[in-house]
Chain A
Amino acid sequence: MAEATLAGVTVERDDEGFFKNPDDWKEEMAPELAKEIGIDPLTEEHWKVIRFMREDYKVKGQVPSIRRMKNEGGISTKDLYNLFPKGPAKKAAYIAGLGKPHGCI
């Protein structure tokens, strides 16, 4: 567990840097989070994904899967991998201040 100051606010994050509490997140924090995992700059395309994830999380209470982003968010899987290379679900959730998506068994 670690605390970090992002955009002037102190937030709690887990060992891998995912937010403990998604409500702590503010849009101004995203560019800094993105930089931490090597995504710079954040483009409008990235934002489309982040906003969809935040919205969907608010409604569903869980981080959307890649298939859901395609079906509901209209974001093609190919684009997702281009925007967030290797593991888009994890990386986008990281920047969007959501918890780590549950892996499956």
Chain B
Amino acid sequence: MKQLLIVGGGTAGTMMANKLAPVLDDSEWHITLIDEHETHYYQPGFLFIPWGIYNKNDVIKPKRDFYPSGIDVIISPIEIIEPDENRVKLADGRVISYDLMIVATGSRINPGETEGMLGDKWHKNIFDFYTIEGATNLRNFIKYWEGGKLVVNVVEMPIKCPVAPLEFAFLADWYFTEQGIRDKVEIEYVTPLPGAFTKPIAAKFLGEFLTKKNIKLTSDFSAGRVDAENNKLYSWDEEAIDYDLLVTIPTNMGAEVIGRSGMGDDLNFIPTDHHTLQSKKWENVFVLGDATDLPSSKAGSVAHFEADVLFENIQRYIDGRPLKPAFDGHANCYIESGFGKGILIDFNYDVEPLPGKFPLPGVGPFSLLQETRMNHWGKMTFRWVYWNLLLKGAELPIEAQMTMAGKKRV
């Protein structure tokens, strides 16, 4: 019996297990999945917790509810992966060998990478919202905040869900307006990028939104350290920005186990073929989701498109067929823009976000690079889609590859 090992059972690992379990010949292949935690977090929901739109219970479910029957599930931290030996060692000493491995260990924030960030003020007036603790602690702060200067800062790229910090700023503008204290809150968006977003057309479009909402944009700012005593954020060039409330998106890195196992780059992301999703170093290792070093967005939607490609390539690998270089970097992100509206972007490695209609050309119902109420409903429906379709590996009415149909070149 051959062993297919899935390492990491979050968004991507769960999806892959659900896709593969029904199709692999169970007289030849056995699937084992390992994760260290029992609880699955709907991470996109973290964005809504600081504003009291969602609470903790809205974003958690037991992981086991989503794993298919007929596979082995091990809940234990992985101590080390030894790809040269085709095995992994668990923290409890067990050793699991594999013939084929899919790594989906995700990415996480590392506030300790920035000097002065993790100190007395961490989760007092310096918060992240990329973890459940950060999001809920920030909720408790914002609930009673009477105003001051809010700085939203992206420390460095890449980060998962690169639009989330912008959405956070838009929602802050909405929330404090609703609370009747917008005139007492100054909002500044501080980013290492040259504009509001990476790609030029979307950067311009989203930059205009910041202006419209009276959010100050400070670009090309590479955060070097925090002086938490004096509430100042410093760039490596010693420029200082004052804050009363600092909401940071700290350095994002791949899982520590990837670093310990010598499988990653300097940020613990695994060098991966951009189109086949095979590890660049080990031919029986494939990588999925946030764990890769692909120059695509790190998002659940991207993991979903990758999974369609990987599903085929795993079967091709098993059947001894050449892999299909079919992943094109496709990403599809709803951007919540406040006041019950949203924006949608759809893009890939080569084509930046363009205006148009989605998914049906000319029809929609969603509008690309435009602010509409319908796009907001898309974002809110995503939670249902995530739990009920995405994790279960179901087909969605969207092709894995991006299409130009419905898009306008500008």
Contacts and interface: CB of A to CB of B under 8 A. Distances in A.
A87 to B, nearest CB: 7
Interface in A57-105: 65, 67-68, 71-72, 77-78, 80-81, 85-87, 102-105
Contacts of A102: 295
Given A67-B266, A71-B266, A86-B220, A103 B198 contact: yes
B40 to A, nearest CB: 25
Contact of B157 (A68, A71, A80, A103): A103
Specify which of B162, B222, B296 lies most central, judged by the most chain A CB atoms within 10 Å of its CB.
B222
- Interface of chain A, main secondary structure: loop
Contacts of B157: 103-105
B148 interface: no
Interface string A21-35: 000000000000000
Interface residues of B, number: 18
Contacts of A78: 224, 236
Interface in B213-228: 220, 222, 224
Given A103-B157, A104-B295, A68 B237 contact: no
A65 B295 contact: no
Contact of B236 (A65, A77, A105): A77
A85 to B, nearest CB: 6
A65 B264 CA distance: 14
- Interface of chain B, main secondary structure: loop
A77 B224 contact: yes
Contact of A86 (B158, B237, B266, B295): B237
B267 interface: yes
Given A104-B158, A105-B158, A81 B295 contact: no
B337 interface: no
B266 A68 contact: yes
B198 A104 contact: yes
Contacts of A77: 224, 236
Given A103-B198, A105-B157, A105-B158, A85 B237 contact: yes
Interface range, A side: 10 to 19
Interface in B243-275: 265-267
B198 A105 contact: yes
Specify which of B220, B265, B297 lies most central, judged by the most chain A CB atoms within 10 Å of its CB.
B265
Nearest to B113: A67
A33 B199 CA distance: 28
A67 B267 contact: yes
A60 B120 CA distance: 40
A105 B237 contact: no
A105 B220 contact: no
Contacts of B296: 105
Contacts of A65: 266
Contacts of B162: 105
Interface string B325-345: 000000100000000000000
Contact of A105 (B222, B265, B267, B295): B295
A41 B257 CA distance: 44
Given A104-B157, A104-B158, A105-B157, A81 B297 contact: no
A72 B237 CA distance: 22
A103 to B, nearest CB: 6
A87 B236 contact: no
10 contacts: A65-B266, A68-B265, A77-B224, A80-B236, A81-B222, A103-B157, A103-B198, A104-B198, A105-B157, A105-B295
Nearest 4 A/B pairs, CB to CB: A81-B236, A104-B157, A104-B158, A67-B266
Given A67-B266, A105-B199, 4 more contacts: A68-B266, A87-B220, A105-B297, A105-B331
